[in-house]
Structure 1
Amino acid sequence: QEKLKGFEFWEKVLGGATRIVAPMVDQSELAWRMLSRKYGAELCYTPMLHASVFLRDQQYRTEGLASCPADRPLIVQFCANDPDVLCNAAMLAQDHCDAIDINLGCPQAIAKRGNYGAFLGENWKLVEKLIKVCHEKLSVPITCKIRVFEDLEKTVEYAKMIERAGCQLLTVHGRTKEMKGPMTGLASWKHIKAIKEAVKIPVFANGNIQYKSDVERCMTETSVDGVMVAEGNLHNPCIFTDTRPVIWDIALEYIEYATKYPCPPSYARGHIFKICHHGLQRHTAARDLLGSSRDLKDMKRSVELLRDACVETCWVDKDGVNDSLPFRHWFCQPYVRPAPKPKENKNGQISKTKLKKMMKRCRKSGDLGVEGLDPAEKAKKLLKIIEEKSPKKVYDICVKCGNPGSSRCAFKSCKPCCKSRSREIDVSCTMH
């Protein structure tokens, strides 16, 4: 049977999906996908899978392809830089999904070291071959997820090349590969709109989605066929609905799905931390218990502890911690990435590293010369002043005995006090 292409594939196989949950490493597992589908997600992706590992590791394959009849439509995403490896891995997965997606957008350091994701964006011949080989040999369509370039024309040409190679649906993250972490910034819908106007296949947009209204606004402004959400979905799995879920209700519901569709404890713990982020900042006992949790039973206890603490205190909201939040802290919040921290030190002085470079430079030239003082000596003197005025390193203090402790300890304690506390409540600390 001939596989469907382009809009026919999107409409008949994917059901014309417009609300999509992104592929997220260790985060878009089956339990999370099922929760997201309940609250409006029409299409989900698996976490990104490494094609080479997928080929050689049976357990990795089993975990990566974990699904159920209700988990459709589903797209499996791979990262790779070898066409044959990618194609062979995709052949093992094609009977378990509706399409294979090639990750051409991961900006992380591990993608740079492995030469995949967004770092393939400068090797168009390899990208073309990856897509073409899979398009010709697989029984399901090939889709791609990319990031943009700063240059708009280059971005459009890249998208058109990907379409010519055989891609049947394109997801565009409107940020460059350099825009990550604290320097993420806003995604460019202008680039996404230009790609949509230039290609003849369905296009999904990714970036700048905090509320359900942003989904509708993005589709209106860019004319895309669907909107993919990542971080916004992790902090509020009901983002595609008009509901405003209470954090402990949605966390407990996720735990039920994770019980039915098992996943590694670290995945579940990460989800609960994101859902309950602002509540856990206020009620640290629940946070500490969650941080040291070993299984879903422990995680459920921590969420129940958070719920009880909120029910008892948050309706009064005495200390005004919620002033900067859109909603009270017991509701799921839109995801807002923290602003980057300033590079200068606390005293607003030149950093030691910069000053050492200055010393090296002034030895070669006299640009820092001061009357009566050799340039190199001037730099040495400045360095000495910085070192004298720099605040001494402050160690964490054990909350119980006052000795040096660790902020990474589940109980913010020193090792002996941590052991004592662990025995009292029968909870282990991952630090100690």
Structure 2
Amino acid sequence: MPEKHPHSIINMTEESVENSGFRFWRTTLKSCKYVVAPMVDQSELAWRMLSRNYGAELCYTPMFHASLFIKDAVYRRDSLQICPEDRPLIVQFCANDPETLLKAAKLVEPFCDAIDLNLGCPQVIAKKGHYGAFLQDEWDLLARMVRICHENLKVPITCKVRIFPSVEKTVEYAKMLEEAGCQLLTVHGRTREQKGRLTGVADWSYIKAVREAVKIPVFANGNIQYLSDVHRCLQETGAQGVMSAEGNLHNPALFSGKSPNICDITMEYLHYTDLYPCPLSYIRGHVFKICHHALTIHRDVRDLVASAKSVQDIKTAAEKLKISCQADIDRYELQPELFTTKLKLPLPYWICQPYVRPGPDDEEDAEHKELRQRLNLKRAEDKERIFPGDTVLSNNKLKKRLKHPHKKFNVRQKLKFEACQLCPNPKGLKCEYCLCKSCCKAKASKEHLACTGHNIKRKNVQDKEKVEAPTEEATIEDKRLCTVGKLDSPGCQDPQALQPSCDISVTSLNESKILASETSCVTNGAHHQPSDTL
């Protein structure tokens, strides 16, 4: 019998079942309180190590697609990056099939401390892929996925969820996952619909209700911008830990209570990317998050970051930003109101601080509205001055041309393709029969034709016939043997079956006699000697 892992429900007393999650939290996770959330393309190894350096006690990997993880070795190799110092660590998967989730979890089981099932992603791609928060109404499926992992893994299974509009249903949801074997639950205090401009404020009262209803550790997620928010959340919800996502992206030192200079923290992150390489798109995204407020002021640096082709280009942009910020830091000592009141930020823009996403009802103040109108007017004037008469040029194309005034943009008219004569697909531009490649290939095969436009050659058909048809010499030889057998062999029961398909006659009967005297005729499995009566 296979040995069950210490968190399995089977053969456990009621008391041990209730405390298994807390035992895992106290021993393996070391009673952690400060948690970095799983973030697609953002919580890679370099970022996790930077966050751990500033107080993070537990980190999650980015969300991995379980189906891709078990099928694609390249995806698996590039996704899972770990090091001995990156512990404790929880690997998160999205899935909608119990067996697939278990197979993926088995692959990472030796390299992590727990497996997390993503039930909180509200994005459109999760809806199309049928995973994340769009599984929260399929309780039977979720219970089977959690249970199969709980009973077959050596590490615990945890879940990250969003709340329902109803507190009662949210509590029932959490209890269902707990009964299925979930050992730790992370509750994001927003519904599935709260995303983008509709994000709003997370409701901690739901998290508190879940924490009071279940007997496993609970992590709270949502509304975490400063360390003071962490302490307040722990006090109001009673949760065992607090998870941060966006707050951590804008200030990786959040859990330490520090707000470092954006240029310093950026260079430190780039140092970690040298130690733990990652895709350039990840690095670019982190720099945009850390330096968000500064890049809205120093647009030239933003353009450098956006067009960077290497990590060195990012470092060059960061150094230039540091020089630009230093000039404003010197001015700040003389006129601090210029950088607080005017920009309406709680801290100077060169200090790490949270970004507050504007809501749908936020009215644009007069100053920003006037600035936007002036910008639109300037674009219109530049458009008329540089490209007179071109009324169909979009703002994006205008910005691109203003950014590269000496570049020649080759604007081609969109081609209109004619349809194939046999199907709705576009025909080949050089096809001799006005057909698409598929139809042309079928026609050529059927009618023994060739098409230079589709590179279909007639010799392919001829070669096939040549392979299937016997050679002339072999045909004559078979004809001779079969003729001898028909005339001389009493065992030849079906001479027509031995006749070759080609109509080739024997030159003379004497030639057949000479050939028959030297060979034997084998018919119907018997060996017969040629007759001397001929």
Q: Displacement, 1:313?
A: 3.0
Q: Which amino acid aligns with 1:3?
A: P
Q: What pairs with 1:17-416 in structure 2 (closer than 5 Å)?
A: 17-316=32-331, 320=338, 322-323=340-341, 324-340=344-360, 402-403=386-387, 413-414=401-402, 416=404
The equivalent of 1:352 in structure 2 is none
Q: Displacement, 1:395?
A: 6.0
Q: Which amino acid aligns with 1:135?
A: H
Please give the alpha-carbon distance, in whole angstroms, between the structure 2 residues aligned to 1:310 and 1:409: 30
User: What SS class does the counterpart of residue 187 from structure 2 fall into?
Assistant: strand
Q: Displacement, 1:413?
A: 3.6
Aligned partner (choices 396, 405, 410) of residue 417 of structure 1: 405
| Superposed CA offset, 1:275-306 (max 9, x none) | 01111111111111011011110000111111
Contact 2:401–2:407, Cα closer than 8 Å, also in 1: no
Contact 1:22–1:230, Cα closer than 8 Å, also in 2: yes
The equivalent of 1:380 in structure 2 is none
| Superposed CA offset, 1:339-393 (max 9, x none) | 226799xxxxxxxxxxxxxxxxxxxxxxxxxxxxxxxxxxxxxxxxxxxxxxx99
User: What SS class does the counterpart of residue 171 from structure 1 fall into?
Assistant: strand
Please give the alpha-carbon distance, in whole angstroms, between the structure 1 residues aligned to 2:398 and 2:53: 34
Q: Displacement, 1:414?
A: 3.8
| Superposed CA offset, 1:1-24 (max 9, x none) | 733430111111111110000000
Contact 1:398–1:406, Cα closer than 8 Å, also in 2: no
Aligned length: 374
Please give the alpha-carbon distance, in whole angstroms, between the structure 1 residues aligned to 2:195 and 2:240: 25
User: What SS class does the counterpart of residue 351 from structure 2 fall into?
Assistant: coil
Please give the alpha-carbon distance, in whole angstroms, between the structure 2 residues aligned to 1:196 and 1:244: 31
Please give the alpha-carbon distance, in whole angstroms, between the structure 2 residues aligned to 1:400 and 1:322: 37
Q: Which amino acid aligns with 2:345?
A: L
The equivalent of 1:3 in structure 2 is 6
Structure 2 segments unaligned to the other structure (5+ residues) = 8-19, 365-375, 409-534
RMSD: 2.6
The equivalent of 1:374 in structure 2 is none
Q: Displacement, 1:408?
A: 5.3
Q: Displacement, 1:242?
A: 2.1
User: What SS class does the counterpart of residue 160 from structure 1 fall into?
Assistant: helix
The equivalent of 2:457 in structure 1 is none
Contact 1:406–1:412, Cα closer than 8 Å, also in 2: no
Q: Displacement, 1:57?
A: 1.0
Q: Displacement, 1:406?
A: 7.1
Contact 1:397–1:406, Cα closer than 8 Å, also in 2: no
Contact 2:68–2:75, Cα closer than 8 Å, also in 1: yes
Please give the alpha-carbon distance, in whole angstroms, between the structure 2 residues aligned to 1:293 and 1:167: 43
User: What SS class does the counterpart of residue 92 from structure 1 fall into?
Assistant: helix
Please give the alpha-carbon distance, in whole angstroms, between the structure 2 residues aligned to 1:205 and 1:397: 51
User: What SS class does the counterpart of residue 280 from structure 1 fall into?
Assistant: helix
Structure 1 segments unaligned to the other structure (5+ residues) = 345-391, 421-432
Please give the alpha-carbon distance, in whole angstroms, between the structure 2 residues aligned to 1:291 and 1:297: 13
Q: Which amino acid aligns with 2:87?
A: R
Contact 1:288–1:411, Cα closer than 8 Å, also in 2: no
Contact 2:199–2:359, Cα closer than 8 Å, also in 1: no
Contact 1:292–1:410, Cα closer than 8 Å, also in 2: no
Q: Displacement, 1:181?
A: 0.3
Q: Displacement, 1:398?
A: 5.9
Q: Displacement, 1:220?
A: 0.4
Please give the alpha-carbon distance, in whole angstroms, between the structure 2 residues aligned to 1:242 and 1:138: 37
Change (3 A) 1:416 1:40: closer
Larger radius of gyration: 2
Q: Which amino acid aligns with 2:306?
A: G
Q: Displacement, 1:399?
A: 9.4
Q: Displacement, 1:335?
A: 2.8
User: What SS class does the counterpart of residue 77 from structure 1 fall into?
Assistant: strand
